[in-house]
Amino acid sequence: MTAPPSPLTSLQQFPLVILGAGYTGLRIYQQALERGWHVLATSRQPHIHLEVIPSEHRLHFDLTRAETWAHIPQPAHLIWCFPAVPLSLVKLFLSARSHPPGRLLVIGSTSAYTLDGQPTTEDTPLKAHLPRVQTEEYLRVTYGAVMIRLAGLYGPGRHVFDWIRKGKIQNTKKWVNLLHVEDAAAICLRALEQAADGRTYLASDGHPRTWEEICQVASSRWHVPIPASISPPHMGKQVSIHKLRTELQYTFRFPDLFQALDHIEDGVE
């Protein structure tokens, strides 16, 4: 008796298209290839921004230019990496497709949630007045999109210690939630392959820290000059990833922020 195809094999009947392959999207592209996907990546200027991938995997797509919409194959699974705005164009793009998408995954930000003094979860009220949040919820409710709201990303080319060196970070007791870009990409693929339609997940490394703590480590381990301590206007968020851990059972590639930053500082990555 022939064994039934695995859920992943069934999904991979259709190509995977990464809409807006930037910092995170390019990592998703590479990891998807390694997992056996036929994966395509889009950009408004693919010859410039996607030169690191083979030309046959590049697509020209610009949400504001309807003539490029036909470049997206049908049917296909879509991972939406750039801000899905305006809602009117998003609606037109999806309604113009003769075939509905396979699976749809949308990448958002934990900044979409309000500050209420409690740990931030998927049930925390959203900033519903924001156009991006309105579109993300439209895609989730109407098309069953899986929503991944990412914490602050770091990794090669986005080094936390360099943010301190360049004065982009203040030395405060404000909470910050971070996630290595390779984990962000892997979480997105895990959710695309396994999550139920319409589910939302918060994604960070699960260890909220204060900027003060990060500055102290940067100074003590790497002699990074740090600014004087000041009081923050608000205390920030502490993001909970309980739902991510329990439902997707994801194992982190970079669970230790400071070990990962040491590797970047050493030039290992």
Contact 140, 200 (CB under 8 A): yes
What pLDDT does 116 receive?
84
The pLDDT profile of the chain, 269 residues, written as one tens digit per residue, is 444 456 787 899 999 999 999 999 999 999 999 999 999 999 999 999 999 999 999 999 999 999 999 999 999 999 999 999 999 999 999 999 987 669 999 999 999 999 988 999 999 999 999 999 999 999 999 999 999 999 999 999 999 999 999 999 999 999 999 999 999 999 999 999 999 999 999 999 999 999 999 999 999 999 999 999 999 988 999 999 999 999 999 999 999 999 999 999 887 55
Q: Which domains does the chain have, with CATH numbers?
A: 11-154+178-206+238-255 (3.40.50.720)
Rg (CA), the chain: 19
What pLDDT does 3 receive?
45
* Full-model pTM: 0.94
What pLDDT does 124 receive?
97
What pLDDT does 2 receive?
43
